[in-house]
Amino acid sequence: MLVLAALAVQSLLVVVAAPQDSELRGGRALTPASKLSDDTRTPLAWGRQGSQGRIADADSELQDMIVQYAGDVTDEDVAQAQIAGAEVRRMLREGRTGHLRMTRNQALRLAENPNVAYITPDRELHATGLLDYTVSTVGAVTAQAFGYDGRGIGVAIIDSGVGSEQRDLLNSLCLGSRIVHNKDFVTWEPNSWDPFGHGTHVAGIVGGNGFCAAKAQSLLYNGIPGVAPASNIIALRALDSTGTGRDSSVISAIDYAISVRKTYNIRVINLSLGRVIVESYKLDPLCQAVERAWKAGIVVVVAAGNNGRDNSMKTQGYSTITSPGNDPFVITVGAMNDKQTPSKSDDQMTSFSSKGPTLLDQIVKPDLVAPGNRVISIKPNTGYFQSHYPGNTIPGDWFRGVPYDAYFTLSGTSMAAPMVSGAAALLLQKDSTLTPDQVKARLMKTASKSFPSTSTAVDPTTGQSYTMRADAFTVGAGYLDIVAALSSGDRIATNQTAKSPKAVNQGGTVVFSYDSSDTSGLGVVWGTGVVWGTGVVWGTTVSTTGVVWGTGVVWGTGAPTGTGVVWGTGVVWGTANPFSESTSAAGDN
């Protein structure tokens, strides 16, 4: 099963809305050079990304960049970019972001503009990534029996596109499509469908209805529905035919979703993609974009990444969350193995699911987990997956009513994220007044907290075994439970934020705390006033008496080997050594 979950770094720079500079720069006056990210300032980084694959002249070679502005983008800002010699490709005035093509020297000249906050490369991204069991496991079948099917809720799938010919994405009469809108942001490879196949599979997990494909073959079939089978899909293509995108394409898709959110009632964005973390989320243009969507009233769900097996820094896969899943606002989702049974009693964490805390900021992630191992969903009719993994097609069975050539299995946090996106759609169908923070807090508080303290998984390809601990950096607040979330009446105040807490190392003991550097002035959910319940998961045991956040200890003396690297000043993966995305066609045994 192809497990896709991170965006590799490439060469486009964009200017994005300004974070709190005094926080990020220690109160020092900003020079033009300090406004450039490390991989913008460093000639070697530019050379690696040169168009001819050589060590390029960092000062004179044209590169695509993302520019973040401190205030609204004005005509004067556009004029100053042109005076600096930059080619203005796109300016998002409301998003305070620009996509420009320029040299490093031109970027330095542009940075003299006091409204320019931060400049980064337009980095490259990648996609992250049995439904008949998984929807039962998370409680979606029960929810659908009570009429919660996501009807009227728009879910934006920012991915490799969605195949418009997919029958399970038709309406309840199997006539009109529920893909109510689509738009392509892959400027280097224009296409109106899904030549990769990843986005189609993700869309099926969110909103496949599970019966139109069978009906087309005259089969009597109960179906393999998605979590929200009546939801509307907004297909925003930001990844190309190889599953690769750029910061600019994803940011453009996010800002577009914000601009049309009222037209299509977009209440949820699904991002089953990611890339290496290069700087703090407060500076990362991808993180700033997801925060704009969140603050515009859209729930943003992000795959955690598929790097949980990476032990290159002796951290046992800790601190491998990818961007923008490192942002504390969004809901970051790890992957469980449902063992192909509807009961949660035998489920365990997957070995490939990325773990927290996040690099640089030490944000506690993932936020929760959902099924992501060998998940069955809509099969792309053509494209990469069909040609490279034909064995992942689910065999048709006339006697059982299983349609032929209609469904396909994939593994990854890419598959877990749309489970949560679908769950968010159900909550918003029930109560459209919920804010993104209220949805996040509800899903995390009601998540199941019953896990084995440790579990072991085997890679079916290599035979290598991996041991996973049920700690907060692996399973987050718990396992998605849709029935519990729909049944709960808990609602945090509208002036509260559900930002994920920060893990702090206090003399070898790690505790959770709220990031006091935030200046929003809003009340917080975590911290000493916990809105959490009594179940908590951390260390090598599952506690039933503590609280999840607050002053409770996470790691004591039994910390995983290599955590000194995580907590030290030298991060696990520096900007000059990004970890590669792992892929898998089979998932765990």
408-449: per-residue pLDDT in tens? 888 899 999 999 999 999 999 999 999 999 999 999 989 988
Active-site residue, from 198, 249, 437, 515: 198
Is the pLDDT score of 6 beyond 70?
A: no
The residue among 427, 446, 465 that closes a domain is: 446
In a domain, 576, yes or no: no
Is the pLDDT score of 571 beyond 80?
A: no
Residue predicted with more confidence, 295 or 516: 295
Residue predicted with more confidence, 456 or 519: 456
Instruction: Tell me the CA distances in angstroms from 466 to 318, 320, 386, one per residue in order.
Output: 13, 16, 29
Residue 127 exposed, middle or buried by CB count within 10 Å (0-12, 13-18, 19+): buried
Q: What is the mean pLDDT of residues 265-272?
A: 97
Taking each helix axis as running N to C, give the angle between helix 413-430 and helix 436-446, from 0 to 180 degrees, rounded to the nearest 10: 110
336 contacts 371 by C-beta, under 8 angstroms: yes
pLDDT in tens, 542-558: 333 333 333 344 444 44
Q: How many percent of the chain have pLDDT more than 70?
A: 74
Q: Do 103 and 151 belong to one domain?
A: no
In a domain, 440, yes or no: yes
In a domain, 339, yes or no: yes
Q: Do 418 and 436 belong to one domain?
A: yes
Phi–psi pair at 332, nearest 5 degrees: -100, 130
**Is 198 annotated in the active site?**
yes
Confidence bin at 10 (pLDDT 50/70/90)? very low
In a domain, 303, yes or no: yes
Q: What is the pLDDT of residue 432?
A: 97
Which CATH number is 156's domain given?
Answer: 3.40.50.200
Q: Tell which residue, 482, 474, 478, has the closest CA to residue 439.
A: 482
Q: Do 155 and 183 belong to one domain?
A: yes
Q: What is the pLDDT of residue 280?
A: 94
Instruction: Tell me the CA distances in angstroms from 87 to 66, 80, 93, 286, 533, one per residue in order.
Output: 12, 11, 16, 21, 53
Q: What is the mean pLDDT of residues 582-587?
A: 45
Please state which of the ranges 6-15, 251-260, 397-406 shows the lowest mean pLDDT: 6-15
Q: Do 378 and 271 belong to one domain?
A: yes
Tell me if the bond preceding 324 is cis, omega within 30° of 0. Answer: yes
For 135, the token pair is 């929807």
Confidence bin at 296 (pLDDT 50/70/90)? very high
Place of tokens 């994920």: 500
Q: Tell which residue, 411, 531, 550, 540, has the closest CA to residue 474.
A: 540
Return the SS3 of 206. helix
pLDDT in tens, 141-156: 788 888 899 999 999 9
The residue among 123, 155, 190 that closes a domain is: 123
Which CATH number is 38's domain given?
Answer: 3.30.70.80
Is the pLDDT score of 77 beyond 50?
A: yes
Tell me if the bond preceding 357 is cis, omega within 30° of 0. Answer: yes
Tell me if the bond preceding 43 is cis, omega within 30° of 0. Answer: no
Q: Do 139 and 104 belong to one domain?
A: no
In a domain, 155, yes or no: yes
Taking each helix axis as running N to C, give the angle between helix 247-259 and helix 285-295, from 0 to 180 degrees, rounded to the nearest 10: 10
Q: Tell which residue, 124, 125, 64, has the closest CA to residue 98.
A: 64
Q: What is the CA radius of gyration of the chain?
A: 22
Structural domain of 431: 131-446
Q: Do 348 and 199 belong to one domain?
A: yes
Return the SS3 of 44. helix
In a domain, 176, yes or no: yes
The residue among 446, 479, 514 that closes a domain is: 446
Q: What is the mean pLDDT of residues 461-474?
A: 83
Return the SS3 of 35. helix
Q: Do 102 and 150 belong to one domain?
A: no
Q: Do 95 and 176 belong to one domain?
A: no
Q: Do 107 and 165 belong to one domain?
A: no
Is the pLDDT score of 582 beyond 60?
A: no
Q: Do 90 and 177 belong to one domain?
A: no
Return the SS3 of 36. strand
Q: Do 157 and 78 belong to one domain?
A: no
Q: What is the mean pLDDT of residues 212-216?
A: 82
Is the pLDDT score of 84 beyond 80?
A: yes
**Is 99 annotated in the active site?**
no
Q: Do 70 and 204 belong to one domain?
A: no
In a domain, 301, yes or no: yes
- Split into its structural domains, the chain has a count of 2
Angle at CA 395, nearest 5°, toward 387 and 372? 75
Is the pLDDT score of 273 beyond 50?
A: yes
Average pLDDT taken over every residue of the chain: 77
In a domain, 483, yes or no: no
Q: What is the mean pLDDT of residues 375-389?
A: 82
Active-site residue, from 248, 272, 353, 414: 414
DSSP bridge pairs for 205: none
Q: What is the pTM of this model?
A: 0.79
Active-site residue, from 21, 77, 132, 159: 159
